[in-house]
Amino acid sequence: MRNEVKTTTTTEKMPVRTHHPFMDLQKRMDELFNDFSIGYTWPDIFAGSRADVVPSMDVRNAKDKVLVTAELPGVMEKDIDIDVDHDMLTISGEKLTETESKEDEWVRSERSYGSFSRTVRLPFEINPEHVSAKFEHGVLTVEVKRPVEKVRTSKKIPIAGTVKH
């Protein structure tokens, strides 16, 4: 489906439909990359790249906490690390390849394997004691409790005496 803009004109020589040049360029780029990747898998093209596995993440802001959810299908819990540093939460790990038989011959492989790391900056300093995580059905959920807001107290300070010039 092409993105077309219909225009009306009073002259027969003017085109009735025009194509947006950037939409055509985007379509051609998509076709180029689709043609390029046929018969290859991303890990084969970018072997050794840290971008082999990039987990999808959601970050939800709640009243008293922030929830970070990451999809990690095929990753074992023991292969996941969660680190906090000031206001940064980092989820990293590795998705290991399954053992394969020497007699197997691959026809197509689209699954990604390798190490990954995603970092999220939160709008507050993270207390490591207030971070918890659970891993169920390939989904990691990290709960970071917000720090208690410091109550600001202000007091008007009276000026004692009057200074005369």
> In this predicted model, what pLDDT tens digit does every residue of 75-119 receive, in sequence order?
899 999 999 999 999 999 988 776 655 667 767 766 677 888 999
Domain residues for the domain of 121 are: 48-97+111-145
Domain annotation covers residue 119: yes
Domain annotation covers residue 4: no
- pTM for this model (two decimals): 0.56
Residue corresponding to tokens 């197997």: 104
Q: Which of 67, 73, 116, 74 is nearest to 93 (CA)?
A: 116
Q: What is the CATH number of the domain that holds 137?
A: 2.60.40.790
Cβ neighbors of 104 (< 8 A, separation 6 or more) are none
Burial tier of 154 (Cβ tally within 10 Å: 0-12, 13-18, 19+) = exposed
What is the number of structural domains in the chain?
1
Domain annotation covers residue 93: yes
pLDDT at 16 over 70: no
